[in-house]
Amino acid sequence: MSTSLDTLLETIAREVLNIPKLATRGRDALDFHDVGVVSLKRALARAYAAGCEATAKQLVTSLTFSKGDRP
């Protein structure tokens, strides 16, 4: 995964799911977390919204004309 995606996912995990790190740390107590379905739904919705926003930015960038490209 890209660094920016890793950062986004870690931020969502920390802020929404109260999971401090998304790295394997070799202990069940650190690597497994109980997560409520409401929190999981919020985290997934936030990740989905971030993906939609990134796609919209790419679309706008691809449709933007520079001065020399206008008809």
CA–centroid distance for 64 within its chain? 25
Indicate whether 22 belongs to any domain. yes
Question: What's the domain count of the chain?
Answer: 1
Indicate whether 47 belongs to any domain. yes
More confidently predicted of 24 and 63: 24
**Would you say residue 65 has pLDDT above 90?**
no
DSSP code string of the chain? --HHHHHHHHHHHHHHH-----S--S-HHHH-----HHHHHHHHHHHHHHHHHHHHHHHHHHHPPPGGG--
Calculate the dihedral angle through the C-alpha atoms of 60, 54, 37, 24, rounding to the nearest 10 degrees. 170
Indicate whether 38 belongs to any domain. yes
Indicate whether 69 belongs to any domain. no
Domain span holding position 60: 3-64
**Would you say residue 23 has pLDDT above 90?**
yes
Is the full-model pTM beyond 0.75?
yes
